Amino acid sequence: MRSFFCILLFFTSLGVSHASMGVSWHLDELYKKNKKHGASKETSPLADKYGPFYFNQPVDHSDTSAGTFKHRYWANTDWYQAGGPVILTNAGEADATPAARFVTNSSMALLAENLQGAVIIMEHRCYGESQLGSDYSAQNLRTLNTQTALEDMANIIKNVKLSGIELPPAPETKWIVYGGSYSGNLAAWMRYRYPEIVFAAVPSSAPVQMKYDFFEYFYPIQKYGPKECIQAIEQVIAYVDDILFGSDEAQKQSVKETFGVKGLEYDDDFANLLMYPLGMWQGSNPISNPFKEEFCTIFDGKSDVNGYIEAYAGYIASLTQQMCGGYPVNDCLSSHDPDAEMYTDLTADFRPWVWQVCTEYAYWQTAAPTSNPSTIVSRKLDTTWYQRQCPLLFGEENVPSEPEWNKINEEYQGWNIKLNRTFFIDGEYDPWRTLSVQSDSAPERGTNDARYAVLPEAIHCWDYTVADYVSDAIKQVHKDLYTAISGWIAEADAGKA
């Protein structure tokens, strides 16, 4: 059976204030002269001197008899001067190979250069080559949790050796944890849990507030997406839901046939498929928004619901053909068959992140509640669609009946987290900002030593990019970040912090 695309469609991860004139000029010059930070080098091979390297990490930090695994990381010490800080980034919920270039080409690298420090990109346990076993069985994922991820990072801070330099132990060496998205959560949580060894943190696009029914994910798309495109999607979904929530089975099969998925048995799987284009919004970058530039153009020249349905249906039918090829759509797209390949293939690399959301985070991205007059996601897609798949993937005995998202909020304070020497960065249009400390729904922050920046019109982790083409707002946040952290370092060195 081929039924594994459905879980990939949206069971996915998560894939700045006042600088002195001198600092502003220096960073502006870096944008112009340091082409290693620019877009032209983003796909260049990384020199061997930067890694990968491997660190012997305990499988279980509370049980030394469990042995160790090879924990992969990359490091750049080109700019390091004695006494300089180390920027540490956990690559988060993916193979870290693409993120390895961040040691030379990223906001972390820019910060390290200006602070005369080093930068380390570490892979998250159970992703890429940092494996605990030969597959992603529940047994091999048993230690994949928030506490252990933080313990891994703390152990690297305490014990990693970098070639050619002598690193004094923390806090003499100032460690700055920088991360985006889930990795941004880890940055904030490291500062919260290990303040004695983590000098400062930079959480970017960090949804630190766990939520079970995360219907708000789609609100920024609905609010900031092209008006005509959003209205078209709303009308199509309203039309489809009128049929799916009705009693005419022939009409249900007819609308599925219109969208190229004749024979797809379950309405929630159909709803999940219709949601696919919305994921393109998060995938935008500072120079390209495929949701606007590719998907929304299908409605050009259309002016009524019939035209919108024709365009949307054609897009979904073409997408389904690309994904499923000659396989029956029910075999390809159904999430209800316990014998489907997506449930039985223990080598599928989406399993670690799904394990994390099934056991701890949830973040189930669903339709707007009925109290909202419109939705861009079918209301057939609810938390049950997600939750039902967890025991099918990992066994009912291995996952809780509901992710322990409330426990994570209690342990790490959610968006109530109070930190000093921390610089929170978010994109104004980022769906994940709705769960960040800078969410419009978050409580008042009060007065503290943290810094906050919302990048206008930006989406997810846009501050990572360092290139001539980024917006002035992104360049400014890089300057402000340097100003803040260099100021914190100066205060600490002077004994004031």
The pLDDT value given to residue 357:
99
Q: Which residue has the tokens 């998907």?
A: 295
Give the CATH fold of the 34-208+413-493 domain: Rossmann fold (3.40.50)
CB 62 within 8 A of CB 151: no
The pLDDT value given to residue 23:
28
Distance CA 72, CA 158 (A): 16
Distance CA 85, CA 111 (A): 10
Tens-binned pLDDT, residue by residue, of the chain (497 aa) = 333 334 444 454 554 222 222 222 233 333 333 333 333 334 578 999 999 999 999 999 999 999 999 999 999 999 999 999 999 999 999 999 999 999 999 999 999 999 999 999 999 999 999 999 999 999 999 999 999 999 999 999 999 999 999 999 999 999 999 999 999 999 999 999 999 999 999 999 999 999 999 999 999 999 999 999 999 999 999 999 999 999 999 999 999 999 999 999 999 999 999 999 999 999 999 999 999 999 999 999 999 999 999 999 999 999 999 999 888 999 999 999 999 999 999 999 999 999 999 999 999 999 999 999 999 999 999 999 999 999 999 999 999 999 999 999 999 999 999 999 999 999 999 999 999 999 999 998 876 789 999 999 999 999 999 999 999 999 999 999 999 999 999 999 998 66
Q: Which residues contact 472 (CB under 8 A, 6 or more apart)?
A: none
At 471, give phi and psi (nearest 5°).
-70, 160
Q: Which residues contact 357 (CB under 8 A, 6 or more apart)?
A: 11, 363, 364, 386, 403
Beta bridge partners of 71: 55
For every residue of the chain, which 3-state class applies, written as one string?
Answer: CCCCHHHHHHCCCCCCCCCCHHHHHHHHHHHHHCHHHCHHHCCCCCCHHHCCEEEEEECCCCCHHHCEEEEEEEEECCCCCCCCCEEEEECCCCCCCHHHHHHCCCHHHHHHHHCCCEEEEECCCCCCCCCCCCCCCCCCCCCCCHHHHHHHHHHHHHHCCCCCCCCCCCCCCCEEEEEECHHHHHHHHHHHHCCCCEEEEEEECCCCCCEEECHHHHHHHHHHCCHHHHHHHHHHHHHHHHHHCCCCHHHHHHHHHHCCCCCCCCHHHHHHHHHHHHHHHHCCECCECHHHHHHHHHHCCCCCHHHHHHHHHHHHHHHHHHHHCCCCHHHHHCCCCCCCHHHHCCCCCCHHHHHHHHHHHEEECCCCCCCCCCCCCCCCCCHHHHHCHHHHHHCCCCCCCCCCHHHHHHHHCHHHCCCCCEEEEEECCCHHHHHCCCCCCCCCCCCCCCEEEEECCCCCCHHHCCCCCCCHHHHHHHHHHHHHHHHHHHHHHCCCC
Bond into 403 cis (ω within 30) = no
The pLDDT value given to residue 21:
24
The pLDDT value given to residue 2:
34
Q: Where are the domains of the chain?
A: 5-9+212-405, 34-208+413-493
The pLDDT value given to residue 488:
97
At 356, give phi and psi (nearest 5°).
-65, -40
Q: Which residues contact 486 (CB under 8 A, 6 or more apart)?
A: 23, 114, 115
Neighbour tally for 304: CB within 10 Å = 10
